[in-house]
């Protein structure tokens, strides 16, 4: 039993729609990088489910790296501060890097991550986010690939959490009634 007894979930993006989109994105990345070695960076914690599905649709040589950041601290609005909880395990200098993020909300985290990776001089940097909330952007944030553009709603599931819960839902849901 968790602390979510008074919260209501409604399906926002179904499991079937997610799987179809992730397959398409994986195939697009395969076309772009076929025959080349890439480093796929999973941004923890939120993108681990999307990431693990995405890389299994990518048919090229992939090294997996993990970058842990925390910006929400369990609430539903961004603090604007990005704290690194786990750094990359190996240098990415001279490599093709794909940065895999769950959701771009204010854009602050993605911009932080982009400059953190670019400062390590990769050969190329490709950014991908499963979800983007264009109305919530506080800073311009260009992405190479986006799964779904969504309104400014707080969503959970498929890796995304509310106070640490719901990451294991196989679909994306909207949470209502926070009190």
- 105 touches ligand IMP (CB under 6 A): yes
To which residue do tokens 């926070």 refer?
178
Q: For the chain, state the CA radius of gyration.
A: 16
Paired with 13 in beta bridges are 172
Asked if 66 is part of the footprint of ligand IMP (rule: CB under 6 A), the reply reads no
Total binding residues toward ligand IMP, as defined by CB under 6 A: 18
Scanning the structure block, which residue is given the tokens 């961004």? 78
State which of positions 122-151 bind ligand IMP (CB under 6 A): none
153 is catalytic: no
Out of 67, 98, 106, 125, the only residue in the binding site for ligand IMP (CB under 6 A) is: 106
Residues 31-50 that bind ligand IMP (CB under 6 A): 46
The H or E element containing residue 95 is none
Q: Smaller CB distance to ligand IMP: residue 120 or 165?
A: 165
Rounded CA-CA distance 47/107 in Å is 15
Q: Which of 109, 127, 130, 147 binds ligand IMP (CB under 6 A)?
A: 109
d(CA 18, CA 15): 5
Cβ proximity to ligand IMP, 92 vs 130, nearer residue: 130
Choose the stretch contacting ligand IMP; rule: CB under 6 A; options: 13-21, 25-33, 70-78, 119-127: 70-78
Say whether 173 sits in a helix, a strand or coil.
strand
- Which CB sits closer to ligand IMP, 14 or 76? 76
Nearest partner of 48 among 68, 32, 62, judged by Cα: 68
Q: Which residues are known catalytic residues?
A: 105
């Amino acid at each position: 039993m968790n602390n979510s007894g008074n919260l209501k979930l409604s399906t926002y993006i179904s499991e079937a729609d997610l799987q179809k989109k992730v397959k398409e994105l994986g195939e697009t990345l395969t076309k772009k990088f076929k025959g080349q070695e890439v480093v796929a960076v999973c941004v923890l914690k939120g993108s681990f489910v999307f990431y693990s599905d995405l890389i299994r649709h990518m048919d090229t040589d992939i090294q997996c790296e993990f970058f842990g950041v925390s910006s929400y601290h369990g609430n539903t609005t961004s603090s604007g501060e990005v704290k690194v909880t786990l750094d990359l395990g190996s240098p990415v200098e001279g490599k093709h890097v794909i940065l895999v993020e769950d959701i771009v909300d204010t854009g602050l985290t993605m911009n932080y991550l982009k400059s953190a990776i670019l400062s390590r001089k990769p050969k190329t940097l490709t950014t991908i986010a499963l979800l983007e909330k264009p109305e919530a952007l506080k800073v311009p944030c260009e992405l190479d690939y986006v799964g779904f553009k969504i309104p400014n709603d707080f969503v959970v599931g498929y890796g995304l959490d509310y106070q640490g819960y719901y990451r294991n839902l196989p679909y994306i849901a909207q949470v209502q009634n926070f009190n």
